[in-house]
Amino acid sequence: MIVPTRGETGNYDDSDYELDANGNRTDKLKPGSEQLISYDDVDFDDKNIGPTGFGMAFDFGATYRLNDEWTFSAAVLDLGFICWKNTVKASMNNSFEFNGFNEIPIKSDLGDNDPNSIDNQADRIVDDLEQMAKFTKDGEGLKRTTALAATLNLGAEYTLPAYDRLKFGFLSSSRFQGRHSWTEARVSANVSPLTWFEASVNYALSNFGSTGGLMLNFHPRGFNFFVAADVPLCKYTPKYYAPLNRFSANINLGINFTFGPKYKTKHRCVEVQSL
């Protein structure tokens, strides 16, 4: 991609110019406006077509069966890196501080031309907020190597000795991705009372709150149908810990059709000798 700055193209927005005391737009550019990315002029570089980087990842997993009741498992997923070349680096370098509205006149002889009027102060705040969300170009043609977001899974399964069709499971999942890292612990109960029916219930607790789930799986001869629901029980945003009080649920369902015999019949040759 070709990513020019506004100083290179001369294509500026109205918000790139400073306001005077009366809230009117001037011809003076704000500091750093020349290095802002000109989004309207971003174009595809058809003369530089090719791979933009290289990366690799490995998955490792193991299962250990202790006895007829206990099975343990562990896995590491996406353990690797990715390297980008010829990249453009941009960042948000602007800051904004709001200390409230100051000396708002109840009635002013200047009218809308009063710098402290509520409309003029609000215009300056909106203008500063719009400027803060713009990207400044820091460099191009750079190389960058980052690690992938690896996931560590640890699991255990217990089969009830008195009823081997009932199993209990535990799964711990941890994602390692800097500030976006998260950890989840999940317990489940799985039962298959019939050869064509299975059911599962689970509960999970993570950085994002807690959830409860239910899944039903029907797999008689010829097709397989499942329905699953995942309902947040105590959900909030992980960054600001703001509660979300709206009820929400994730529902998934699907059906598969199978062909051929369900079980392969093994034929044996038996030699009968008569005496």
Question: Does 118 lie in the same domain as 103?
Answer: yes
Asked if the structure places residue 123 within a domain, the reply is: yes
Instruction: Provide the pLDDT confidence category of residue 41 given band limits of 50, 70 and 90.
Output: confident
* Mean pLDDT of the chain, nearest integer: 80
Domain boundary among 125, 145, 165: 145
Question: Does 120 lie in the same domain as 244?
Answer: no
Q: Model-level pTM?
A: 0.61
> What is the C-alpha to C-alpha distance for residues 133 and 93, in angstroms, rounded to an integer?
9
Question: Does 167 lie in the same domain as 97?
Answer: no
Residue 200 pLDDT: 95
pLDDT at 242 over 70: no
Asked if the structure places residue 63 within a domain, the reply is: no
Pairing status of strand 17-19 against strand 53-65: unpaired
More confident position, 102 or 1:
1
pLDDT at 141 over 50: yes
Question: Does 236 lie in the same domain as 187?
Answer: yes
Asked if the structure places residue 70 within a domain, the reply is: no
DSSP string, 39-93: GGG-B--TTS-S--EEEEEEEEEEEEE-SSSEEEEEEEEEEEEEEEEEEEEEE--
Are the beta carbons of 168 and 157 closer than 8 angstroms? yes
Asked if the structure places residue 268 within a domain, the reply is: no
Question: Does 153 lie in the same domain as 136?
Answer: no
Are the beta carbons of 169 and 76 closer than 8 angstroms? no
Residue 29 pLDDT: 80
Question: Does 122 lie in the same domain as 17?
Answer: yes
Q: Can you tell me the mean pLDDT for 245-251?
A: 72
Inter-residue long-range contacts of 29-34, CB under 8 Å, 24+ positions, other chains counted: 30/131, 32/93, 32/94, 32/136, 33/6, 33/7, 34/5, 34/6, 34/7
Domain boundary among 145, 169, 189: 145
Residue 134 pLDDT: 76
Asked if the structure places residue 77 within a domain, the reply is: no
Question: Does 186 lie in the same domain as 120?
Answer: no
Instruction: Return the DSSP state at 135.
Output: P
Residue 243 pLDDT: 55
Tokens linked to 121: 């102060």
Instruction: Provide the pLDDT confidence category of residue 198 given band limits of 50, 70 and 90.
Output: very high
Question: Does 218 lie in the same domain as 114?
Answer: no
> What is the C-alpha to C-alpha distance for residues 12 and 23, in angstroms, rounded to an integer?
19
> What is the C-alpha to C-alpha distance for residues 53 and 82, in angstroms, rounded to an integer?
7
Asked if the structure places residue 222 within a domain, the reply is: yes
Are the beta carbons of 213 and 171 closer than 8 angstroms? no
Asked if the structure places residue 67 within a domain, the reply is: no
Identify the domain containing residue 37 by its residue range. 6-52+86-145
Q: Can you tell me the mean pLDDT for 86-106?
A: 68
Q: Can you tell me the mean pLDDT for 211-228?
A: 92
Question: Does 224 lie in the same domain as 244?
Answer: yes
Question: Please, which residues have CB within 8 angstroms of residue 173's CB and are 6 or more apart in sequence?
Answer: 151, 152, 153, 183, 184, 186
Q: Structurally, how many domains does the chain consist of?
A: 2
Asked if the structure places residue 60 within a domain, the reply is: no
Q: How do residues 164-186 score in pLDDT, each as one tens digit? A: 899 999 999 999 998 889 999 99
Question: From the centroid of its chain, how far is CA 205?
Answer: 18
Question: Does 120 lie in the same domain as 96?
Answer: yes
Question: Does 98 lie in the same domain as 164?
Answer: no
> What is the C-alpha to C-alpha distance for residues 272 and 246, in angstroms, rounded to an integer?
74
Question: Does 26 lie in the same domain as 90?
Answer: yes
